[in-house]
Structure 1
């Protein structure tokens, strides 16, 4: 059982947070929990798990509260929100995020700032165990969840982690939502996982997405800047839109309900609120026909 180091209430719709010490490493991460009003269904609440919890929990809670009360007009039902972040008031902890969301084997990179520590990736296995073991054990005492109706959302590095976890633990979630995933990160090692992936008949749903300006063109406000050529060269390497579209096609060929969606006039970071709202819809849609609407 993970140790509760601290707990409190976040300023977003009654969300609670708990700082939990990893039962193996002792690393402390913040778990945000929002539970719908009323009595849960007999099978438990459907749940949406979100990575980069500090940055996205407020948006996710607002999206739920604004839409789930009117299912006839939104097709969204109530469900629980679980977001994994860190004990900080900032939206991100870049150093810890690099380790936690970087799938193994990982690499080492120069410090983010002069005098800082070496940045490492490859700790995704620790993060996965924390989520799937420590956090799930902890949540059993706080909320009843439907084990068959759980979804995972990640953006950028979080999208990379989401796809990697699906390839290595397809039993962990039923719906996988990867926004602007860093598929080509570290020499596109994720492609090897795709080639070896065997969904074994599991009824998984996968939603991939990216912003329009994550493709081969710069956003209008970037085109006249001094670093325009450098940004274009970087786009040729990351291939965010093309790689996500190709991944969706490959997963469809494997028999998964997979689709790709592009968000007009959005960049890698501005896309986040739209992607979180779409994650809510993917996780809590009452009709269950989302893939047919994706582009």
Structure 2
């Protein structure tokens, strides 16, 4: 569909911008939750074992950024180290980058007492649906993607930031084998700290031999945040780095805050994943 507009005194035909290799569709889960699913398929031929895959939470906000970072850099994998990768963004039927439904999907319980009153408005949103969302990934979305695309079952990663980072940790601690690589950016550990600590303890006691890769990143300026976000992330990484069979890396990005950290984090994340996938 073309429409005419007047730019610089000339009539020009305009169309919507389209990112090559991408498409989107909607899915309604067994729990009647509706999701916008965005998919990028590399233009290269799939390896015999299938493509690696990166699932991206808050897809409305991050899907196109992650896709472009991979699409551009994987053209010269020999130079960049980034391999062609399928990207699946999981978002919502909204034009907003961050939909309020994320508070339900990414949290394991209502916010705890230690969460600042600054978040009172957000605490009014429904919470505690992380296990339902995890079931959606495991039983509905992943099988659909794997039916339709050639995917390497041993090269699968998940990326989340903020509350999405909290969910990534929940998935790591409770369904470790669902992915091989976990990226938790600026995780909101403070939101469900007591419950997450219990899950972490169980994970450490029962998954000490699990081969898994974990990247935890946060911005230097998040050290000033009242939630202790940077300190919580740093201390968690230190504990996980004691695991013998896990590859755990932690990065504090200089002069970055809770939002600006996403761009360098994405670039670090796709190289971190590719390092795993080339082994």
TM (normalized to structure 1)?
0.81
- Partners of 2:70 and 2:129 in 1: CA distance: 31
Question: Structure 2: 5+ residue runs without aligned partners?
Answer: 1-15, 113-118
1:208 and 2:216 equivalent? Answer: yes
1:18 and 2:7 equivalent? Answer: no
1:171-190 matched pairs, under 5 angstroms:
171-190=177-196
1:137-148 matched pairs, under 5 angstroms:
137-148=143-154
- The secondary structure found in structure 2 opposite 1:207 is strand
1:82-161 matched pairs, under 5 angstroms:
82-93=88-99, 95-103=100-108, 105-107=109-111, 111=121, 118-161=124-167
- Partners of 1:110 and 1:248 in 2: CA distance: 29
- The secondary structure found in structure 2 opposite 1:140 is helix
- Partners of 2:269 and 2:258 in 1: CA distance: 16
- The secondary structure found in structure 2 opposite 1:206 is strand
Taking only aligned residues, the RMSD between alpha carbons, in angstroms, comes to 2.1
- Partners of 2:252 and 2:95 in 1: CA distance: 31
Q: Residues 147-186 of structure 1: CA distance to partner in whole angstroms, max 9, x if unpaired?
A: 1110111000000000011000001000110000011223
1:257 and 2:247 equivalent? Answer: yes
What's the counterpart of residue 277 of structure 1?
Answer: 267
- Partners of 2:17 and 2:207 in 1: CA distance: 37
Q: 2:35 aligns with which of 29, 32, 36?
A: 29
- Partners of 2:143 and 2:277 in 1: CA distance: 30
Number of residues paired by the alignment?
Answer: 255
Measured after TM superposition, the shift of residue 242 of structure 1 is: 1.4
- Partners of 1:154 and 1:10 in 2: CA distance: 26
Question: Structure 1: 5+ residue runs without aligned partners?
Answer: 1-8, 217-234, 290-295
- Partners of 1:106 and 1:287 in 2: CA distance: 36
- Partners of 1:257 and 1:178 in 2: CA distance: 14
- The secondary structure found in structure 2 opposite 1:215 is helix
Is 1:29–1:86's contact at 8 Å kept on the other side of the alignment? yes
- The secondary structure found in structure 1 opposite 2:147 is coil
Is 2:158–2:183's contact at 8 Å kept on the other side of the alignment? yes
What's the counterpart of residue 87 of structure 2?
Answer: 81
- Partners of 2:124 and 2:186 in 1: CA distance: 25
What's the counterpart of residue 10 of structure 2?
Answer: none
Measured after TM superposition, the shift of residue 126 of structure 1 is: 1.1
Q: Residues 88-144 of structure 1: CA distance to partner in whole angstroms, max 9, x if unpaired?
A: 122111x201000112x33598555xxxx9412110011111111110122133211
- The secondary structure found in structure 1 opposite 2:241 is helix
